[in-house]
Homo-oligomer: A and B are copies of this chain.
Amino acid sequence: MTTSAGTERPLAHTRVIDAGSYRVTVAAGLRQQFARVIAEAAPAHHYAIVSDDEVAPLYVEPLTLALAAHAPVSVHVVPAGEGHKTRDTWARVTDGMLDAGCGRDTTVVALGGGVVGDLAGFVAATFMRGVPVVQCPTTLLAMIDASVGGKTGVDTAAGKNLVGAFHPPAAVLADVETIATLPLPQRRSGLVEAIKHGVLADAAYFARIESELPALLDADPSVTLETVARSVEIKADVVRADEREHGRRKTLNLGHTLGHALEHVSGYALLHGEAVAIGMVLEARIAERLGLAEPGTAERIQGLLRRAGLPVARPPELPVDSVVDATRLDKKARAGRVEYALPARIGAMAGEDSGWALPVDDQLVHEVLA
């Protein structure tokens, strides 16, 4: 599917979403225009492409050739997988950029999934106190979640994303054709965030995902394009209203308090999306038990996730106590009770009066997990 640098075919549909200080461009085949758009959005004297060893063989060479028409390019390939989203990998990429002669006038290009985006974003945030990053997400999950909102970071032994920075990208470029090359479990995992966006903000969008699920699982380009675009709109709206996560942005944590805990206890055997799928169902149950959510909310979320082939219950090998303990490592744990983002119904969240974050007793979490 790659073409040589310099030849651009016109794109049938392009969606451009304003995300505040930057724009998100979504199209099928957009990768042939990456270099031109990067050079316009973030002109630099050096481009440092950061990718992983699964994505790099597919897309790095044409991008390197095309960017080289604008400035020197260095390529920094890291091992794929969340297990490498560490301070060590971050330090190695940084040192590689210093060795390659990168200065303050460098732009980092993140080419890959969410791990590459978070890692490369944190490299950019901290390289000589901050250089621009252009996010080129190649997975559905990264397109609709990680690449929008400016969160960057790495994991430590104590938990995920505990070290990081807010560093909004100069631009986000999403070529939905790259999703088709992903294995099905990863595409499913990405759909979880789209479903989450429907739950938290848009019942009609949730219903559209319900009806278009087969086309989405097939990575149909035009259905995927519209889904990515709508999810990016929803996320960008929320983030623009609350970049630093003091309020409404917390609604994006739906499914994530329990999701992160499950992922952590599984030793990252669960994919992020799988863990969040389970977390979203369980957190919707918590919301129903607290009388915050309409009855049936959890059931409908569970139905869609199950049809998408996603897990919806705690895997029995993950002990309840360990999961509850792991929620306490969450960044959202404030002075005592762990806080959750909980739904009110499909399309709306609960807790506006309490800053969208609701403390929940461990006892109830225990019961729902059991």
Contacts and interface: CB of A to CB of B under 8 A. Distances in A.
Interface of A: 45, 87, 91, 94-95, 98-99, 103-105, 122, 125-130, 151-153, 156-159, 161-166, 331-335
Contact of A95 (B98, B152, B156, B334): B156
A275 B271 CA distance: 52
A126 B126 contact: yes
A129 B104 CA distance: 22
A103 B158 CA distance: 12
A103 B334 contact: yes
B153 A129 contact: yes
A332 B104 contact: yes
A238 to B, nearest CB: 16
A8 B33 CA distance: 65
Given A87-B87, A156-B94, A45 B126 contact: no
Contacts of A122: 126
- Count identical subunits in the complex: 2
Contacts of A128: 161-164, 331
A243 to B, nearest CB: 11
Given A103-B333, A104-B331, A162 B98 contact: yes
Contacts of A158: 95, 98-99
A104 B335 CA distance: 10
A165 B162 contact: no
A321 B162 CA distance: 43
A230 B163 CA distance: 36
Given A98-B162, A127-B162, 5 more contacts: A94-B163, A98-B159, A126-B163, A126-B164, A129-B166
Contacts of A153: 126, 129
A45 B334 contact: yes
**The 8 nearest A-B residue pairs measured at CB:** A98-B158, A129-B164, A45-B335, A128-B331, A104-B331, A126-B163, A105-B334, A87-B91
A165 B163 contact: no
A167 B99 CA distance: 26
A47 B121 CA distance: 28
Contacts of A129: 151-153, 161, 164-166
Contacts of A166: 129-130
A145 B286 CA distance: 51
